[in-house]
């Protein structure tokens, strides 16, 4: 699998595309005024505790207060001699009690795990994690985890033993207190070894561990000297962040159309991913890099509802606030053998296209897929396994259920940032996000009813003026001319029609003179 990273940098935005075997799979966009917040650490102040929701709202200096659920709050250890659960925030039923964990006005260190989406504020956690190329630091967690994508048991054993040795060399609690390093009630920090750590040398892992330790210490020092609410740590820019996330994959080439950004990425790679540094290139061609690789066209296609399949079938993708639905249709594909075989092949092709669209559009949350109904149990099983197999390359965590009684596949995909559509688009001011607008006939009948209301309410008016769009006025003059004349005779007042070019179809005014 040939993976390339293409980065387009302008003063107004940075765009990153990931291609696999020449086909774009993911597109990320970051703008200075709308930078992603995931990974940022804030010193916040609890402004409201909601026991009924087992959650709290925290002021961290953003436009909207952020949301912190009890399950994302690290419980405090009980003090000596205290009744079990009295100070730990653990309720007697074994669940975290938000009222015992937090109180209004309390200052806490939190990290963003989900960007603000729509009208919802950012979601927070107090379980801070500091990622680097090969591992993730979990302050005070006292655990060692290994990515599930590292399947070789021998390698997993090597990494676990190596990390135990490295963690054993960390200073104890007393040493930390003397050195001014971050303190916790546990003597060791925890670490998760990422997929990129597979086959990594001892020296690389040691350097990575010391790097995240220094970053955590610096973060705590800034938090101690700051006044809440404020940001104490910001995740790196998109280009470096993407390279860090993909460091475990076989990146063949990184092409960047900005010399300054290319140098910055190259310096980062030399320090943390030395094997990738020689593959970072500055693109100096005349054609825009995204146009050269056909990414501009793919972005435009990703904003449409309909996705054509090579066989002639198509997908229809509808994104709503509650969920995303994907409908599979045979379209123009008629097959060569029989109907069941045609349906099966269309669904197999759709399974691959759907996984690509989920990544390309960055769709998350609940996703409902309506494959074409299949009578064969074996065909349903193969389509489901194909969907799971294609999702293995997705970096976002996914869960798939079996085919429901209605023939639907229900799945979830972790959503941490806004979808491509939400980044690039906004609801239509004409239809207000409905996706449809009223017909000219419907608007004409609304105007008739408005004229009746106005005429009854203001008997002293001499005449009425109707202001509307060109197509609505034309409908009133042509198709609805008889109804218009009857209405004019009924109210006993002349009605003047006037075209307003700036009005959209649903917009009109009835003015009395």
As averages over each run of 10 residues, the pLDDT of the chain (513 residues) reads 89 93 92 83 93 92 91 60 37 61 92 85 92 87 86 90 81 39 55 85 84 88 90 90 77 93 91 85 92 93 92 90 90 68 90 95 94 89 93 87 84 86 87 86 95 86 92 94 93 93 94 88
Residue 505 phi, psi (nearest 5): -55, -40
Instruction: Give the residues across from 137 on adjacent strands.
Output: 130, 191
- At residue 134, the pLDDT reads 85
- For 22, the token pair is 């020449």
Please state the pTM of the whole predicted model: 0.74
- For 275, the token pair is 């094997």
Q: Which of 289, 294, 250 is nearest to 273 (CA)?
A: 250
Contact between residue 66 and residue 44 where contact means Cβ atoms under 8 Å apart: yes
**DSSP state letters, 90-156:** B-TTSSB-HHHH--TT-EEEEEEEE--BTTB--EEESS--EE-SSEEEETT---EEE-TT---HHHH
Q: For the chain, give the number of residues.
A: 513
Contact between residue 112 and residue 123 where contact means Cβ atoms under 8 Å apart: yes
Residue 32 is given by DSSP the state G
Contact between residue 206 and residue 213 where contact means Cβ atoms under 8 Å apart: no
- At residue 170, the pLDDT reads 57
- At residue 336, the pLDDT reads 59
What is the CATH code for 3-35+236-296?
A: 3.30.420.60
What is the CATH code for 440-512?
A: 3.40.1260.20
Instruction: Give the residues across from 248 on adjacent strands.
Output: none
**C-alpha span between 295 and 283 (Å, rounded):** 15
**DSSP state letters, 366-430:** EEEEEPPP-S-HHHHHHHHHHHHHHHTT-SS-EEEEEE-TTSPEEEEE---S--HHHHH----TT
In the chain, where the domains are located: 3-35+236-296, 41-79+86-233, 305-424, 440-512
Q: Can you give 466-493 as a three-state secondary structure string?
A: EEECHHHHHHHHCCCHHHHHHHHHHHCC
From the options 3.90.380, 1.10.3470, 3.40.630, 3.40.50, give the CATH code of 305-424.
Answer: 3.40.630
Three-class SS state of 199 = coil
**C-alpha span between 135 and 393 (Å, rounded):** 20
Residues 6+ apart with CB under 8 A from 335: 341, 342, 345
Assigned fold of 41-79+86-233: OB fold (Dihydrolipoamide Acetyltransferase, E2P) (2.40.50)
- At residue 279, the pLDDT reads 92
């Amino acid at each position: 699998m040939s993976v390339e990273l293409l980065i387009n940098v302008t003063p107004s935005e940075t765009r990153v595309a990931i291609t696999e075997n020449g086909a774009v799979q993911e597109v990320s966009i970051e703008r200075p005024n709308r930078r992603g917040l995931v990974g940022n650490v804030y010193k916040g102040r609890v402004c409201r505790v909601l026991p009924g929701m087992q959650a709290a709202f925290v002021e961290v200096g953003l436009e909207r207060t952020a949301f912190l659920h009890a399950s994302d709050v690290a419980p405090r250890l009980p003090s000596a001699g205290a009744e079990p659960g009295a100070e730990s925030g653990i309720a007697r039923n074994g669940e975290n009690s938000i009222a015992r964990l937090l109180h209004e006005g309390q200052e806490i260190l939190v990290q963003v795990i989900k960007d603000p989406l729509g009208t919802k504020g950012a979601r927070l956690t107090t379980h801070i994690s500091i990622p680097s190329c090969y591992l993730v630091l979990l302050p005070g967690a006292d655990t060692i985890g290994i990515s599930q994508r590292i399947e070789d048991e021998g390698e997993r054993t090597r990494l676990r033993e190596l990390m135990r040795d490295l963690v054993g060399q960390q200073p104890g609690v007393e040493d930390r207190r003397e050195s001014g390093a971050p303190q916790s009630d546990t003597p060791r920090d925890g670490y998760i070894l990422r997929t990129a750590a597979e086959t990594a040398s001892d020296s690389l892992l040691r350097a990575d561990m010391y790097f995240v330790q220094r970053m955590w210490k610096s973060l705590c020092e800034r938090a101690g000297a700051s006044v809440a609410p404020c940001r104490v740590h910001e995740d790196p820019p998109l280009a470096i962040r993407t390279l860090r996330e993909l460091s475990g994959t076989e990146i063949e080439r990184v092409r960047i159309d900005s010399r300054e950004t290319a140098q910055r990425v190259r310096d980062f790679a030399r320090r943390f991913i030395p094997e990738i540094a020689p593959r970072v290139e500055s693109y100096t061609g005349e054609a825009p890099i995204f146009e050269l690789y056909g990414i501009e066209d793919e972005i435009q296609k990703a904003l449409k509802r309909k996705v054509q399949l090579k066989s002639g079938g198509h997908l229809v993708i509808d994104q709503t606030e509650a969920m995303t639905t994907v409908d599979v249709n045979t379209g123009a594909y008629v097959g060569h053998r029989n109907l069941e075989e045609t349906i099966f092949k269309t669904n197999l092709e759709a399974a691959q296209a759907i996984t690509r669209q989920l990544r390309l559009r960055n769709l998350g949350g609940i996703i409902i897929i309506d494959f074409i109904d299949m009578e064969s149990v074996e065909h349903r099983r193969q389509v489901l396994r194909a969907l799971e197999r294609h999702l293995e390359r997705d970096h976002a965590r996914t869960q798939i259920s079996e085919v429901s009684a209605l023939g639907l596949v229900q799945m979830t995909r972790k959503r941490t940032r806004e979808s491509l559509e939400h980044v690039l688009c906004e609801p239509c001011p004409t239809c207000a996000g409905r996706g449809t607008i009223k017909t000219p006939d419907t608007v004409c009948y609304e105007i008739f009813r408005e004229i009746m209301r106005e005429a009854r309410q203001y008997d002293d008016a001499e005449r009425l003026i109707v202001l509307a769009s060109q197509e609505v006025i034309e409908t009133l003059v042509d198709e609805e001319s008889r109804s218009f004349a009857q209405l004019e005779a009924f109210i006993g007042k002349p009605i003047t029609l006037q075209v307003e070019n700036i009005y959209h179809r649903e917009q009109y005014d009835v003015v009395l003179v």
